[in-house]
Amino acid sequence: MDNSNNGLASNHVFSRMLRWQLAATAVVAIIALFISGTHASVSALAGGFPVIMGAFIGSKIAQRSDSKKDASSILVNLLKAEAIKILVVVVVLFITFKVYKQLVPFALIVGLAAAALFSGAAISKLDDDTSQIK
Amino acid sequence: METVQFLAMIQAYTGVGIGLIIGLGAAGACIGIGIMCASFLEGAARQPEMIPQLQGKVFLLLGLIDASFIIGVGLAMMFAFANPLLSVVAQ
């Protein structure tokens, strides 16, 4: 198999994942705006933002292993990306809880959960993308 | 005095709960990641030409496995910084 399209394929997967996360967070924020007002909406965005930011930084680190062919080095790079993603999420959440005084905790948790769970939704389109890129 | 005792008890039990949320979540995520990484290495050893396709799937599934842990961390932070149980005593 030709490996020249590896970077393009993984880039497409990561951008699709980020798009799903953004859409999920936006939907939760809009629902929260109608149910509980502006602070709930901002809290939902503040919940989704750390996950999206962590996933973006993690995907940039994971993409560094596109040129590598050794499975163990790819795996180490992916685990490194995941560890940095969790670190970013924890730090940004900590800052959010400390700084934002009018926080609506339930809206934040729902936004966070939506963004975290919908990151896996991109896998449903993964096979279509790889077949198109080939 | 009684109120202070109730507050102290709620905070103590909340601390235990936070530890359990983070600890059990981390344990579950680590077991899941271990199983998936072993499967990835096995798949890569059997069919090295599949590594590029597997790489994207592994990253997405890593995020999905960690989702429960990340949600748990969010809940734990909510109980640590804005504990809703304390408002019951404050009333």
Supply A128's token pair: 């279509």
Q: Do A105 and B78 touch (CB under 8 A)?
A: yes
pLDDT digits 0-9 by tens, B44-88: 999 988 888 888 888 888 888 999 999 999 999 999 988 888 887
Chain Cα centroid distance, residue A17: 6
DSSP state for residue A100 in the 8-state scheme? -
Active site members of B? 66
The letter for the amino acid at A87 is L
Q: Convert the pLDDT of each residue in A44-84 to its tens digit.
A: 999 999 999 998 998 888 888 777 778 888 888 888 988 99
Amino acid at A17: M
Nearest residue of A to residue B30, measured between CA atoms = A79
Nearest one of A96, A18, A23, A100 to A54, comparing CA atoms: A18
Does the model's ipTM exceed the 0.95 cut? no
> Cβ of A71 and B44 within 8 Å?
yes
- pTM score over 0.80: yes
**Optimal mutation site among B55, B79, B81, B83, interface A, most CBs of chain A within 10 A:** B55
Closest chain A residue by Cα to residue B83: A105
Please write down the long-range contacts of B44-49, taking CB distance under 8 Å and 24 or more positions apart.
Answer: B44/A71, B44/A74, B45/A71, B48/A69, B48/A71, B49/A1
Boundaries of every domain in chain A: 3-125
Cα–Cα distance measured from residue B66 to residue A23, given in angstroms and rounded to the nearest whole number: 20
